[in-house]
Amino acid sequence: MERLVDVAPGVRLWAEDLPATGSDPAPEPVLLVMGANASGLTWPDELVARLAERHRVIRYDHRDTGRSTWAFDERPYAIAELARDAVAVLDAFDVPRAHVVGMSLGGVLVQLMLLDAPGRVATATVFCTAALGGYGSPDLPPPSAELLALWEHMADPRDVDAELDWRVAHWRLLSGTGTPFDADGFRALERRVIAHAGRHDNTAAHARAAQDGLDRGDELAAVEVPVLVVEAPEDPINPPPHSGHLARALGRGRLVRIPGMGHAITGTVVAPLAAAILTQTTGAHAPQR
Query: Residues with catalytic annotation?
Result: 104, 235, 263
DSSP string for the chain? -EEEEEEETTEEEEEEEE---SS-SSPPEEEEE--TT--GGGS-HHHHHHHHTTSEEEEEPPTTSTTS---TTTS--BHHHHHHHHHHHHHHTT-S-EEEEEETHHHHHHHHHHHH-GGGEEEEEEES---TTGGGSTTS--S-HHHHHHHTTTT----HHHHHHHHHHHHHHHH-SSS---HHHHHHHHHHHHHHHT------HHHHSB-TT---GGGGGG--S-EEEEE-TT-SSS-THHHHHHHHHSTTEEEEE-TT--SS--GGGHHHHHHHHHHHHTT-SPPP-
